[in-house]
Structure 1
Amino acid sequence: MNDVKTEIVKKLGIQENWSALPKSREYLAQYEPKSVDDLPARSMKDSFTSALLPLSQDLALRDKYVTFMGSVRLGRLMEDMDLFAVWVLHQHVKLPNLDPSIPLPYTFVTLFVDSINFTDHIPKNDSDIRLSGHVSWVGRSSVEVVVWLEQKFQGRWRKLTRALFLMACRNATNSAAAIVNPLNPENDGEKKIFTGGENRKRKRIQLQKESIFHGQEPSAFEQKLIHNIFMKTMDLNNKNKTFNVRKIPSGAIWMEDAQLSNVIYSHPEDRNAHNSVFGGYLMRQALELSWGLVYTLNEGRCRLRCINDITFSRPVPVSSLLKMHAHLVYTEVNYMVIVVINETYDAISGEHTTSNVFYYTYSCDVPVNQIIPKTYNEAMWYLDGRRKFIAAVGGEDEKIEGLTQKSG
């Protein structure tokens, strides 16, 4: 993976040492492809590549990845997967008329990370980990990359997880979209993978339209659910009934009491090849904050089961003050859904901007306390978390309702 990072910097022609005024890449505009006809179609095997984390031999590297419990820091692995996805994209891009001495006239940006499900295999800190991947779908300027994570166990590679990265191809100065080589599936298997990418694109568009946070009101079922939760917090035995007095049911906690925040000042060492904060670094910090919240609520007896999705709304300048807030927004039997919101603060303008939103689903050894929203805003987060949970477990409203009733 160290070689991967070095090669990316080399291929993009990025200066290695930090400078507040980086070398201009405007001259590369003359090498940008003007039409998709100028770009040869690529196959999935053209972009397939692998990289290794040699934890079995590199003791210094092992120290960076080990947790205090002896397993591997998943946040570090997510950081590597994001970098590796960029490397896979480098294998896909081919400009036949570009002189090898000229840097690629592209900027690659992570837009979205789709559902990442983890197997039951707990990664060990003293065994090699392999990253593999290839391009699975291509639009005009957007590319989907699939990345696998495996670890060697008793002489065999065992799957840890798989992730889907949606990447944007931008021009050399990151000021406009850039066309990229089309993908030509070569057999029925590749056609099926490509069709899956098309379906995921349509699904993302549909989910965005249906999002509560894009003006879509909750369904009748969801409205009834929130009303029932609200009624559970009312003291119906009190003669002086009032909405101003609410009580927390037994075995439950208020959503406002289940949160954890962190403040991080970003530095040049956390930058990507384009002098913004590296997306993988944000993924690592957010994941570890979510685990910290789970640890405080359940004494560490939980495992990350799924990263539901990760959204990168805008680049984060290196000079930013990062304010990360983790909230427990939904619980179901022994599952917890955590959302982490990354706000960037610009000291010069005084503006706070939400740049990233991360969702995580954890499973715990024992049933967890039910989370109860107190305000309407929290109720919307509750419903959004519930939707993420349903997507993670592949359930339906009736199935989840059955689980709720069974758990009491």
Structure 2
Amino acid sequence: MLRSLGVAEKCWSFMQGRNLMKVSGKQAPNAWITSRRHYSPAIHIHRSTVANESGTMAEVKQGMMKRLGLEPGYNPQPKSREHLLKYQPKLEDLPPRAMLDSFTSATIPLSTDPTLQDKYVSYQGNVRMGRLLEDMDLFAAWCCHKHLKLPNLPEGVHLPYTFVTILVDRIDFTNVLADGTKDIRLSGHVSWVGTSSIEVVVWLEQIVGGKYEKLTRALFLMAARNATNTSAAPVNPINPANEEEKEILAGGADRKKRRQTLMAQSIFKVEPNDPEQTLMYELYQRTTPANTLQLNKRILPPNCRWMANSFQMSTIPSFPEHRNHHNRVFGGFLMRSALEISWAAAFLYCKSRPKLEHISDISFEKPVSVDSFIKMTAYVVYTKKNYVQIMTVADVLDPHTDSQVTTNTFYYTFSCNEDVTEVLPRSYHETMWYIQGRRKFEACRAPQ
């Protein structure tokens, strides 16, 4: 998982040269340099004549609906796609593809659409990052469409596939603040495939001072499903075109193994390690009176706050406008909603406007119906100096039975202008949240 930043930067630099040449008309500079590491761009992409412009994001959405045979307008009973099951190809019928085949870009035309500006702009004139997460999720699915090639599909038959988001790998943000009145460009391509899973790298840019500057990037892991979303569907393998593509492709298997290892080592599945257990005892000592006659009493050290008093919550009714192509709640909507309440929780805790630094891996455990009530709860679970780590839990509520099911857990790292009040757990389960939040924070701050 930690290596994913380096791989994403390599993917980004790999494609970046051609994009910069279009803007400036000059030879592309070296790859975008971070405080951690940098890469040189590959050049064969410059010479490609493959058309890669997909128009605006609105046109991308229309293009996907057309390929899937869907029409605008909501119907409680989705249009049947069972007739497409017979066109489902076998893996051996799918020809290999290159990464370049799926490389594409699309724009959010903020400079020419004032109505769109109102949807994206914050009160300070910058772009709402939650809106961009929605677009990145949709765009990742579009890259999957570009990757697919079905030679045996009859002309005029709609695509017998459905794509769903499995998880979003760590997302880091640059110091560039997106202007709410300038166009934003999304670019991306497929970077690894399994039998039915597809990894897509997506990055965002905006023109600053006459050239494109990077805003953020993310790795999306998508699942290819059949036409009725009832079972997995095979996807074209990747045939790397050069050594750099081979390196990027080989990293996909490593990232998969790392994800599986991290899941198996989750604090919610196995006990804390020895250093963490020592930390837990130190927390106990700090919050327990020295007087042994008061063992049931907890004390709050100076300049600290209890975790139980450091959260924000909202309940959101979902509607058909939040649906994806198979009448479930769109994953991008969940990401936006979670980010915005997390930002509010960080703002209220810091008492100043926070900066989003990082989003840890996001997994989608269960589909959410479009008639659901979604409870978002954002907890401050860890703090260090001027950083705040937020854990946001998305639960689906059943109004008839009062039951709730957790569908997502999000982790966000925010920075503030000054050091913040330290947050401390009061119960054992809050201590587990504290340990998990600490792990996420240290992982995102570690050198790559």
TM norm structure 1 = 0.94
Q: Deviation at 1:242? A: 2.2
Alignment of 1:139-158 (within 5 A): 139-158=194-213
- Match of residue 64 from structure 2: 8
Are 1:334 and 1:368, in contact at CA under 8 Å, matched by a contact in 2? yes
How do residues 72-221 of structure 1 correspond to structure 2 at under 5 angstroms? Answer: 72-214=127-269, 216-221=270-275
Structure 2 equivalent of residue 404 of structure 1: none
Residues 107 and 186, structure 2, Cα contact 8 Å, conserved in 1? yes
Partner of residue 243, structure 1:
295
- For these two proteins, the number of residue pairs brought into alignment is 392
> 1:100 offset after TM fit, Å?
3.5
Deviation at residue 304 of structure 1 after TM alignment: 0.2
Pair 279,323 (structure 1): closer, same or farther in 2 beyond 3 Å:
same
Q: Say whether the 8 Å CA contact 1:15–1:22 is kept in structure 2.
A: no
> Which of 395, 398, 403 is the matching residue for 1:346?
398
Q: Distance in 1 between matches of 2:163 and 2:293?
A: 58
For residues 295 and 75 of structure 2, the distance between their equivalents in structure 1, rounded to whole angstroms, comes to: 58
Alpha-carbon displacement from aligned partner over 1:133-185 (angstroms, at most 9, x marks no partner): 00000000100000011111111000011100000111111111111111111
What does 1:252-267 align with in structure 2 at a 5 Å threshold?
252-267=304-319
Q: In structure 2, the residue corresponding to 1:213 is in which secondary structure?
A: coil
Residue of structure 2 in register with 1:403 after alignment: none
Q: CA deviation at 1:301?
A: 2.9
Verify the 8 A CA contact 1:127 1:153 in the aligned structure 2: no
Counterpart of 1:314 in structure 2 is 366
Pairing partner for 1:20 from 76, 83, 88: 76
Using the alignment, how far apart are the partners of 1:242 and 1:331 within structure 2? 28
Partner SS state of residue 384, structure 1? helix
Unaligned runs of 5+ in 2: 1-56
Q: Which amino acid aligns with 1:111?
A: I
Q: CA deviation at 1:351?
A: 3.3
Name which of 258, 275, 283 aligns with 1:229.
Answer: 283
Looking at structure 2, the residues matched to 36 and 67 of structure 1 have their Cα atoms a distance apart, in angstroms, of: 46
Among 104, 115, 119, the residue aligned to 1:64: 119
- The counterpart of 2:425, out of the listed 369, 373, 379, is 373
Residues of 2 paired with 1:12 and 1:251: CA distance? Answer: 56
Looking at structure 1, the residues matched to 410 and 151 of structure 2 have their Cα atoms a distance apart, in angstroms, of 38
Contact 1:55–1:62 (8 Å) recurs in 2 = yes
- Letter of the 1:18 counterpart: Y
Q: Does the 8 Å CA contact 1:89/1:135 hold for their aligned counterparts? A: yes
The DSSP-based 3-state class of the residue aligned with 1:231 is: helix
Q: 2:437 aligns with which of 382, 385, 391?
A: 385
Shift of 1:350: 4.5
Q: Distance in 2 between matches of 1:18 and 1:53?
A: 24
- Picking from 338, 352, 359, the partner of 1:286 is 338
> Structure 1 residues 149-158 or 341-350, which shifts more?
341-350
Distance 1:296 1:259 in 2: 9
Change (3 A) 1:42 1:348: farther
Q: Give yes or no for contact 1:78–1:280 (8 Å, CA) kept in 2.
A: yes
Amino acid at match of 1:327: Y
1:374 and 1:86 map into 2 onto residues whose CA distance is 42
SS at match of 1:316: coil
Contact 1:338 1:361 in 2 (8 A): yes
Q: How far 1:343 sits from its partner (Å)?
A: 0.6
Classify the secondary structure of the residue corresponding to 1:241.
helix
Gaps of 5+ in 1: 397-408
Give the match's secondary structure for 2:367.
coil
Separation in 2, partners of 1:101, 1:282:
34
CA contact (8 A) 2:289 2:295 kept: no
CA distance in 1 between partners of 2:100 and 2:255 (Å): 21
Indicate the larger mover: 158-167 or 96-105: 96-105
Given residue 165 of structure 2, which amino acid in structure 1 is its aligned partner?
T
CA contact (8 A) 1:44 1:183 kept: yes
TM-score by length of 2: 0.86
Larger mean CA deviation between 13-22 and 271-280 belongs to 13-22
- 4+ residue segments displaced more than 6 Å: none
* Residue 347 of structure 2 is aligned to residue 295 of structure 1: yes
Task: State the AA in 2 paired with 1:227.
Answer: Y
In 1: Cα distance, 2:122 partner to 2:284 partner: 40
Task: Classify 1:349/1:43 alpha carbon distance in 2 versus 1 (closer, same or farther; 3 Å).
Answer: farther
Q: Which residue of 1 is the match for residue 41 of structure 2?
A: none
